[in-house]
Amino acid sequence: EEYIVALSALQDLLPPVPLDAVRAVIVAELGAPPEQVFAHFEETPLATASIGQVHAATLLDGSDVVVKVRKPGITEEIELDLVILHDFAHLAAGRIDSPLVQNLEETVGHFADGLRDELDCTMEGRNIEHFASGLDPKLNVVVPRVYWDYTTARVLTTSRFRGVKVTDAPGLAKQGIAPRLLARELARMAMHSIFVNGFFHADPHPGNYIVQADGSIAVIDFGLVGRLDDGTRRDLLLMLAAWVSG
């Protein structure tokens, strides 16, 4: 349980990055301090996660947005961690005669590629738009709009959603929203993404699902996504059909 509690903090509850450091990133990426780039920029962050920190803001045209700023120095920290992981995988593969470690170095390589993609805010912006283009219109699910004029490799600006976490039972009850219906909707979204599109949101923790007052589910944080080719989707579908049929 203590591991679950510790890892849950990585969703959005880490200690905040100092405002001066956030301002420095915005100046470097957008060419001016936040009070000049935005009509309003909230100094207190909405959330602080493992890679980025999110601030509420208002664009000059009045649009409500969130500004995700990559943490200063996080790239260097992650690269060092990846070197250590690769060394451990190489050591294990050379010393342990077990099928469990045969592909460990390759697994670490895939993990490293995905994590480096997660560091690039422009990649996340493209992921959002790709996911939106394949979203089943029958689902009560929405994704953010990307404001490309305010987005770079280290800053991502998207439309803001307001609501409660998908795990906030009292908040959902207050809004008269049934958790069972939310679970079904999210399951349908996952099935459609995996089996129809082969492109899915791969970071499904509670911090990334916001339930709005109208019952719609806003999906955020597309730094980590998954892609499946036709053959893999077919194999997964056959496996699922076999499981359902017993």
Dihedral of the alpha carbons of 86, 88, 90, 92, in degrees to the nearest 10: -150
In contact, 107 and 88? CB cutoff 8 Å: no
Q: Measured between alpha carbons, how far is 43 from 29 in angstroms, rounded to an integer?
A: 18
Q: Measured between alpha carbons, how far is 169 from 89 in angstroms, rounded to an integer?
A: 41
- Annotated active-site residue 203? The verdict is yes
Q: Measured between alpha carbons, how far is 156 from 185 in angstroms, rounded to an integer?
A: 27
3-state DSSP helix/strand/coil percent for the chain, to nearest 5?
A: 50, 15, 30
Among the listed residues 61, 113, 136, 203, the single catalytic one is 203
For the annotated catalytic residues, the residue numbers are: 203
